[in-house]
């Protein structure tokens, strides 16, 4: 009599495990949109290092998550990227951290904008770029960032080629043993960038 119930018990356990794996395995992360939207707006209105850190702490720290980001929040971020860009070009480290971590919630359009901003930092401060890339390496597609050229138009091969050479030169200038491997990887990847 007990053996007759064994297949039902095993089936129930398998079903339960399957349901648990589905729930756990999705990697879905929910961001409190209300609080995140407020933190982002506060940062845009007053782009301090502390406000950037607040936004940074609210973003997921991994790329393996499925993020449900409200369209309004994504639009809010995209429409105010120039403020983040300004802070990054002012070499504000926490703004750069935010840009890297935004890749965890970015759609393709936002990724493209972020890649161009971060890529252009290389010429201005290659050391800062390498330091934060080292901390956020798993969040980004390195070649995508390195080969995104903001200030030259598609079809402007000479402009893109000059930008590529300027980035390589800036990276070659850095002498830091902790960043050496990443530096070499970036230079190698930049040399492979195709210009349009």
Give the length of the chain. Answer: 196
How do the domains of the chain map onto residue ranges?
A: 31-192
How many Å apart are CA 182 and CA 133, to the nearest integer?
Answer: 9
H, E, C per residue of the chain: CHHHHHHHHHHHHHHHHHHHHHHHHCCEECCCHHHHHHHHHHHHHCCCHHHHHHHHHHCCCCCCCEECCCHHHHHHHHHCHHHHHHHHHCCCHHHHHHHHHHCCCCCHHHHHHHHHHHHHHHHHCHHHHHHHHHHHHHHCCHHHHHCCCCCCCCCCHHHHHHHHHHHHHHHHHCCCHHHHHHHHHHHHHHHHCCCC
Cβ count within 10 A of residue 170: 17
Residue 46's pLDDT is what? 97
Local mean pLDDT, 10-residue blocks, the chain (196 residues): 56 46 43 80 96 94 62 84 96 98 90 94 97 96 90 68 94 96 97 82
Residue 42's pLDDT is what? 96
pTM of the model: 0.80
How many Å apart are CA 149 and CA 110, to the nearest integer?
Answer: 15
Residue 25's pLDDT is what? 41
């Amino acid at each position: 009599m007990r053996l007759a119930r064994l297949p039902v018990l095993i089936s129930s356990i398998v079903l339960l495990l399957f349901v648990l794996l589905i729930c756990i395995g999705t990697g879905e992360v929910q961001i409190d949109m209300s609080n995140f939207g407020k933190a982002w707006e506060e940062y845009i209105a007053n782009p301090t290092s502390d406000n950037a850190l607040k936004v940074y702490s609210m973003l997921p720290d991994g790329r393996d998550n499925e993020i449900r980001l409200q369209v309004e929040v994504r639009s809010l971020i995209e429409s105010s990227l120039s403020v983040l860009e300004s802070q990054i070009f002012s070499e504000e480290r926490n703004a750069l951290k935010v840009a890297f971590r935004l890749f965890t919630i970015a759609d393709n359009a936002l990724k493209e904008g972020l890649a161009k901003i971060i890529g252009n930092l290389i010429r201005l401060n290659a050391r800062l770029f390498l330091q934060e890339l080292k901390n956020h390496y798993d969040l980004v597609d390195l070649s995508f960032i390195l080969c995104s050229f903001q200030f030259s138009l598609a079809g402007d091969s000479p402009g893109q080629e000059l930008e590529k050479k300027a980035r390589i030169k800036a990276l070659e200038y850095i002498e830091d043993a902790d960043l050496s491997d990443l530096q070499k990887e970036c230079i190698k990847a930049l040399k492979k960038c195709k210009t349009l």
